[in-house]
Amino acid sequence: MAIKITRPQGTEDITPKQIYKWHTVEQIARETAESFGFHEIRIPTFEQTDLFLRSVGETTDVVQKEMYTVKAKETEFTLRPEGTAGTIRAMLQNGMLNDALPQKVFYILSCFRHERPQAGRLREFHQFGVEMAGSEGPESDAEIIALAKNLLDRAGLKNIVLHINSIGCPICRAEYHRALKAYFEPHRKELCPTCQTRLDKNPMRILDCKSPICAEIAKDAPLIPDFLCEECRTHYESLQEYLRALDIDFLLDPKIVRGLDYYTKTVFEFITTDIGAQGTVCAGGRYDGLIEQLGGKPTPAMGFALGLERLILTMESQGCAFKAPKKCDLYIAPMDKAATPVAMQLSNTLRHNGYQVEYDLMHRGLKAQMKYANKIGSTFVMVLGENELKSQNANLKNMETGEEIAIALNETFEQRFDDLAVQYMFQDILDEMEKEN
Ligand code: ATP
Ligand code: MG
């Protein structure tokens, strides 16, 4: 017997039973982004490895431990571990930054990172992200954060806290790096091997280390807000004013430094305690240096990425509503061979009008067909037997109330079904409203 092949560790199948949750969050994400004037971009699943080395940064966990890299015909490619690098590459390559600024794009894509799989941490996961290029003022930072907040509100999330910080610009960060080096140097030997190299190359990354030993050492490390230059401080303070104006609560969290190298000034995370240790649902920040670093003209930019698995987990744990999947409107049960082509024709007519219609494809008896119609939750069932064909009249059975409504199998069929379906829909809405009152 052949050995069963299973999916790779850290990946997930999203079956038709689960997909409505994904459709819900994807729709919320799209509608939110569009309401802020962002437009969708689609980029390749893999890029030249160099793109990620130059953007995400060589001292990050992502580059050091988590990339899926393949060599194909002498060129190295990497499955995208995140969406920003590819998006900026695409903006540059397509001349988008020569167009009207700011350029505002969003994406929904899969990312690949070789991590230890656990709840909310996968090897293939999905992000909704936005990037805005061209504007440098703090009102842009507020706009990006407001977009994320708006999305989380639409999803119905409560109990998710916005943490913000500023990690300064290259000028004030140099000062901060010196202070960090001085602080960590006496502990060099105790740090994990990764952090020992970080100490030389990018000491701020040590604050982001997941090792409990490094975290303990970092407990009393100097904090970046004490080192911000005048410009970065003013930017940070204005952002806070705008957030207050927008009624968005936030926490100043000087420990947030973000996992990727390209951030400057504002960084932020939306964190929940409802889904265990992997509580950062959304994370982002400003990255004013990245576009130049990738060969473009110096252009300020900002964005965030939101983990869709973590969003769905949080929504589930908080009992948030997902949009119900579309159900079958009509199931037709043909009782003999002659009824089958009629069932086919009627089905197709209604499908053209946007209804979901099914008929028997399993050669089942009436009882089994009714059971199936129930299982798929069909609103109406119509039996087509010898009598119905002869009289050209059938009954639509409302599966919820059991009520039977006559319908003629002639040129009035389409219109009559439409009327009944609309009536049914309104009844549903009226019932809902009654329940609420
Ligand atoms: P973490 O500290 O949890 O590893 P990160 O800093 O690596 O996060 P980002 O690169 O900022 O994460 O990615 C943005 C968002 O993508 C995260 O906030 C999270 O919601 C999601 N995310 C990141 N890595 C994973 C993963 N392995 N599995 C599921 N979601 C993830
Ligand atoms: Mg990570």
Summarize pLDDT for 13-33 with one digit per residue, the tens.
999 999 999 999 999 999 999
In short, whether 307's Cβ falls inside 6 Å of ligand 1 is yes
Is the beta carbon of 305 within 6 A of some atom in ligand 1?
Answer: yes
Average pLDDT taken over every residue of the chain: 95
Average pLDDT for residues 166-174, to the nearest whole number? 92
Report whether pLDDT(260) > 80: no
Ligand nearest to the CA of 121: 1
**pLDDT per residue over 184-201, tens digit each?**
999 999 999 989 999 998
Supply the residue whose CA is at minimum distance from atom 24 of ligand 1: 121
Contact 101, 134 (CB under 8 A): yes
Burial of 312: CB neighbours in 10 Å, binned 0-12, 13-18, 19+: buried
Helix H, strand E, coil C: the string for the chain is: CCCCCCCCCCCCCCCCCCHHHHHHHHHHHHHHHHHCCCEECCCCCEEEHHHHHHHCCCCCHHHHHHCCEEEECCEEEEECCCCHHHHHHHHHHCCHHHCCCCEEEEEEEEEECCCCCECCECCEEEEEEEEEECCCCHHHHHHHHHHHHHHHHHCCCCCEEEEEEECCCHHHHHHHHHHHHHHHHHHHHHCCHHHHHHHHHCHHHHHHCCCHHHHHHHHHCCCHHHHCCHHHHHHHHHHHHHHHHCCCCCEECCCCCCCCCCCEEEEEEEEECCCCCCCEEEEEEECCCHHHHCCCCCCCEEEEEEEHHHHHHHHHHCCCCCCCCCCCCEEEEECCCCHHHHHHHHHHHHHHCCCCEEECCCCCCHHHHHHHHHHCCCCEEEEECHHHHHHCEEEEEECCCCCEEEEECCCCHHHHHHHHHHHHHHHHHHHHHHHHC
Q: Does position 410 have pLDDT exceeding 70, yes or no?
A: yes
Q: What is d(CA 10, CA 122) in angstroms, rounded to the nearest whole number?
A: 5
CA quadruple 371, 376, 382, 383: dihedral sign? negative
Q: Is residue 80 lining ligand 1, measured as CB closer than 6 Å?
A: no
Ligand 1 pocket member 122 (CB < 6 A): yes
295-354: pLDDT as tens digits: 999 999 999 999 999 999 999 999 999 999 999 999 999 998 999 999 999 999 999 999
Specify the residue with its C-alpha closest to ligand 1, atom 19.
307
Percent of the chain at pLDDT exceeding 90: 86
Q: Determine the distance separating the centroid of ligand 1 and the alpha carbon of 121, expressed in angstroms.
A: 7
Ligand 1 center from residue 267 Cα (angstroms): 14
Average pLDDT of span 267-276: 94
- Say whether pLDDT at 285 is over 70: yes
**Res. 432: pLDDT tops 90:** no
Please work out whether the CB of residue 266 comes within 6 Å of at least one atom of ligand 1: no
Does ligand 1 lie within 6 Å of residue 309's CB atom?
Answer: yes
Ligand 1 lined by 280 (C-beta under 6 Å): yes
Closest C-alpha to ligand 1, atom 2: 259
| Cβ neighbours of residue 70 closer than 8 Å, sequence gap 6 or more | 46, 76, 77, 78, 79
Q: What pLDDT shows up at residue 102?
A: 98
Q: Which residues pair with 111 in a beta bridge?
A: 125
| pTM score of the predicted model | 0.93
Residue nearest to atom 16 of ligand 1 (CA): 307
Q: Distance from the CA of 160 to the center of ligand 2, in angstroms?
A: 19
Q: Which ligand is nearest to the CA of 85?
A: 1
The pLDDT score that the predictor gives to residue 25 is 98
Query: What percent of the chain is predicted at pLDDT more than 70?
Result: 100
Q: What is the pLDDT of residue 259?
A: 66
Q: Which residue has the higher pLDDT, 173 or 314?
A: 314
Cα 210 to ligand 2 centre (Å): 9
CA of 192 to the centre of ligand 1 (A): 21
